[in-house]
Amino acid sequence: MMDLFRPTCLDILAVLIGVILMDVLVLAFVRAGWLSNKPVFASLSLVAWIAMGIPILYSLMGRRASLPIQNGAFFFYGTGCLVYMEMRSVLSRGYSLRILIDLRNRGGQADVGTLKSSYGGGVGVSGLLLKRLQTLTEFRLLKMEGGRVGPLTPWGRMAAATGDRLRRLLRLEQVG
């Protein structure tokens, strides 16, 4: 049993590393301007790579793994993918981390006005809000026209209700 489990773990890690490398490659192409920089594209691309990893993992395990081992392998793979997605999200969009990076790039200190105006790679706090609203519009979670935001789409209402329930369940008073 242990002899079978060890190759399966290596298979999972190999596929997971492959998915991450392909995602990083796509992100490099986006930054180079060769691919669309819309958040929807990056998200769908990652989902596609993760989905492609499933049959690859299955073919690597083949018939040598029993059904419980295969099921465990797919759950482990899914968990690894979720951890990667969350880490990517925190590193790319984490507010507090962004502030620390901006401070570090300014020699460790700056006044609040400078941080506000340079926040988010130079778009400032209001630019950051606009950027996030545009992302929500691209994901069709809300409608935005000029300076007016809303209404929420059915998907947006469902996402907001789910997020609100999860926040209450986890007793998170303040988010963002």
Report the length, in residues, of the chain.
176
Sign of the dihedral defined by the CA atoms of residues 128, 132, 138, 144, in that order: negative
What tens digit of pLDDT does each residue of 19-69 get? 999 988 988 888 888 888 777 788 888 899 999 999 998 888 876 777 888
Q: Quote the pLDDT of residue 121.
A: 65
Query: Bigger pLDDT: 106 or 123?
Result: 106
Instruction: Look up residue 27 and give its amino acid.
Output: L
Terminal Cα distance for the chain, rounded: 46
What tens digit of pLDDT does each residue of 71-102 get? 888 899 999 999 998 888 777 666 667 777 77
Q: Quote the pLDDT of residue 1.
A: 46
Q: Quote the pLDDT of residue 127.
A: 76
What distance in Å separates the CA atoms of residue 5 and residue 173, rounded to the nearest whole number? 42
DSSP string, 104-147: HHTTT---HHHHHHHHHHHTHHHHHHHHHHHHHHHTTSEEEETT
pLDDT higher than 80, residue 5: no
Instruction: Look up residue 15 and give its amino acid.
Output: V
pLDDT higher than 70, residue 7: no
The proportion of the chain whose per-residue pLDDT surpasses 90, expressed as a percent, equals: 20
Q: Quote the pLDDT of residue 93.
A: 65
pLDDT bucket at 175, cuts 50 / 70 / 90:
low
